[in-house]
């Protein structure tokens, strides 16, 4: 689908050739074992853990968008840890974002440290240290939940000069927002549970790379540890991806309007949205990203005020995760994230912009 628009690409990504009497997207294949050739043995499908045609179709679809070979996992966390444990060995050093998804830092401080892997924590916006002696640099941009952005080209060049691999967590952006492999990264990891699938009904992760040796290692890791997504989850994800372009457009428009609303209120502090020209990340984001995600972060001063705001809002659901059809807000400190008690990550859904703005303004007034 080279040269086609985003909407066309997501609608047709990973679909099989048309067959009269068959659906556009074949239904999920529910199989643990398959019939084997009694003489030749297993072919493309042998056993459901390493082989499933529904999963391969989803991987093909995501691969078309990311620009690499994809391996799907049962969750984003499973995908990231598979990469880390496939690449890192005792004595290695990994650089992780100090302001990224906190569970990855917890995994590094626990499991990786116990395996003899050293961790260096670096803010997404920098400054970055020398990468000499570092085996892998993991970036998350925009960072979750603070929304800082890093220059993937510049960091990748510096890391490669020092002999390090570069991985980018593309969860917040999705491959329609940025394509890290084209920016110089070696591998992409992401949670597909969020904006990529967007219906808040799937747990999914993936690893994407053009490095076939790295993909082979990740594939072996997945087959031997078994962290695969089920066939129905893969089918739901593939079905949901078709509307990604439309969903992102409305979420982006809503986020721009929400940021403008919040910027004009004296009772809201710490506003961040990389699409706003006054945002610290705007210069890098505007040059690197194809579209800005529909996520806004801000501070309401206290946990109690966040609670009053969410109780008063009619269109904002209190929920973790992000990127879904419904507008949600999450007070990240309740999960042990290193954020202030009143910090809120707001994920804009696809509601009518005027309705969402009116509801947010009224809820903030009542809070």
Question: What are the pLDDT digits (tens) for 193-226?
Answer: 999 999 999 999 999 999 999 999 999 999 999 9
**Predicted local confidence at residue 40, as pLDDT:** 84
pLDDT at 52 over 90: yes
Q: What are the structural domain ranges in the chain?
A: 6-241, 245-366
Three-state DSSP class for 96? Answer: strand
pTM of the model: 0.96
Tell me the two tokens of residue 266. 């004296």
**Predicted local confidence at residue 272, as pLDDT:** 98
pLDDT in tens, 303-362: 999 999 999 999 999 999 999 999 999 999 898 888 999 999 999 999 999 999 999 999
Mean pLDDT value across residues 4-31: 95
Return the C-alpha torsion angle 171, 176, 178, 184, nearest 10.
Answer: 100
CA Rg value for the chain: 21
Mean pLDDT value across residues 287-293: 97
**Predicted local confidence at residue 335, as pLDDT:** 86
What's the mean per-residue pLDDT of the chain? 96
Of 38-42, 94-98, 257-261, the range with the lowest mean pLDDT is: 38-42
pLDDT in tens, 156-193: 999 999 999 999 999 999 999 999 999 999 999 999 99
pLDDT at 1 over 70: no
Give the Cα-Cα-Cα angle 104, 106, 109 (nearest 5 degrees). Answer: 110
Name the one residue in this structure whose structure tokens are 């078709």: 242
- For residue 110, give the DSSP letter: I
Percent of the chain past pLDDT 90, that is, above it, reads: 95
CATH for 245-366, options being 3.90.1150.10, 3.40.50.2300, 3.40.50.150, 3.20.20.70: 3.90.1150.10
Chain centroid to Cα 166, Å, comes to: 16
With CA atoms as reference, report the closest residue to 296 among 323, 265, 267. Answer: 323
CB 53 within 8 Å of CB 72? no
Given its phi and psi angles, is residue 281 left (phi above 0), alpha (psi -120 to 50 degrees) or beta?
Answer: alpha
CA–CA separation, 219 and 82 (whole Å):
9
Mean pLDDT value across residues 130-159: 97
CATH for 6-241, options being 3.30.565.10, 3.40.640.10, 3.40.50.300, 3.40.630.30: 3.40.640.10
Angle, helices 353-366 vs 303-312, to 10°: value is 130
Of 4-13, 275-284, 328-337, the range with the lowest mean pLDDT is: 328-337
């Amino acid at each position: 689908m080279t040269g086609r628009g985003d909407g066309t690409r997501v609608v047709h990504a990973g679909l099989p050739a048309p067959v009269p009497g068959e659906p556009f997207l074949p239904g999920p294949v529910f199989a643990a074992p398959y019939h084997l050739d009694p003489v030749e043995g297993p072919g493309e499908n042998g056993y459901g853990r390493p082989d499933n045609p529904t999963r391969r179709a989803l991987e093909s679809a995501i691969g078309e968008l990311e620009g690499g070979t994809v391996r799907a996992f049962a969750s984003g966390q499973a995908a990231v840890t598979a990469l880390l444990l496939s690449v890192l060995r005792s004595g290695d050093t990994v650089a992780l974002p100090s302001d990224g998804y906190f569970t990855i830092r917890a995994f590094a401080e626990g499991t990786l440290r116990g395996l003899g892997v050293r961790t260096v924590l670096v803010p997404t916006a920098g400054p970055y240290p020398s990468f000499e002696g570092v085996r892998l640099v993991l970036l998350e941009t925009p960072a979750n939940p603070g929304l800082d952005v890093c220059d993937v080209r510049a960091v990748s060049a510096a890391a490669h000069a020092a002999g390090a691999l570069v991985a980018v967590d593309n969860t917040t952006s999705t491959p329609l927002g940025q394509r890290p492999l084209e920016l110089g990264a070696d591998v992409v990891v992401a949670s597909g549970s969020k904006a990529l699938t967007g219906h808040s009904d799937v747990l999914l992760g993936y690893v994407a790379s053009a490095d076939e040796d790295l993909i082979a290692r990740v594939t072996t890791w997945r087959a031997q540890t078994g962290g695969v997504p089920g066939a129905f989850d893969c089918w739901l994800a593939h079905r949901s991806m078709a509307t990604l372009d439309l969903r992102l457009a409305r979420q982006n428009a809503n986020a721009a309007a929400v940021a403008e609303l919040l910027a004009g209120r004296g009772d809201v502090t710490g506003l961040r949205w990389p699409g706003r020209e006054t945002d610290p990340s705007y210069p890098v984001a505007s040059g690197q990203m194809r579209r800005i995600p529909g996520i806004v972060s801000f501070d309401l001063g206290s946990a109690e005020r966040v609670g009053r705001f969410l109780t008063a809002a009619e269109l904002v659901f209190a929920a973790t995760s992000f990127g879904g059809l419904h507008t949600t807000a999450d007070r990240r400190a309740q999960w042990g994230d290193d954020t202030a008690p009143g910090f809120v990550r707001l994920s804009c859904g696809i509601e009518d912009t005027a309705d969402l703005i009116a509801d947010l303004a009224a809820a903030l007034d009542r809070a």
